[in-house]
Amino acid sequence: MTQPVHQRKGSLVGTVKAVLWGFLGVRRNADYQNDIAKLNPIHLLVVGLVMALLFVLGLILLVNWVVA
């Protein structure tokens, strides 16, 4: 029996890896199923939002650097 979603303990490194693979859009089905079983969806959401924000800020800084 699987743990309730809010009690899953996923590692920070595993969560970051899953989000990075999600950004790339390349993931094996077995790895995806493993992530679903082990990682906390709330942690995935928070890490995903932070990484998306960092990506956008990085693009803004890059554009400002190139234009300057």
CA 49, chain centre distance (Å): 8
- A 10 A CB-CB count for 50 gives 12
CA 28, chain centre distance (Å): 15
- 19-42, pLDDT tens digit by residue? 988 888 888 888 888 888 888 889
Instruction: Give the span between the Cα atoms of 15 and 39, in whole angstroms.
Output: 7
Contact 66, 59 (CB under 8 A): no
- 44-60, pLDDT tens digit by residue? 999 999 999 999 999 99
CA distances from 1 to 4, 19, 37 (A): 9, 25, 11
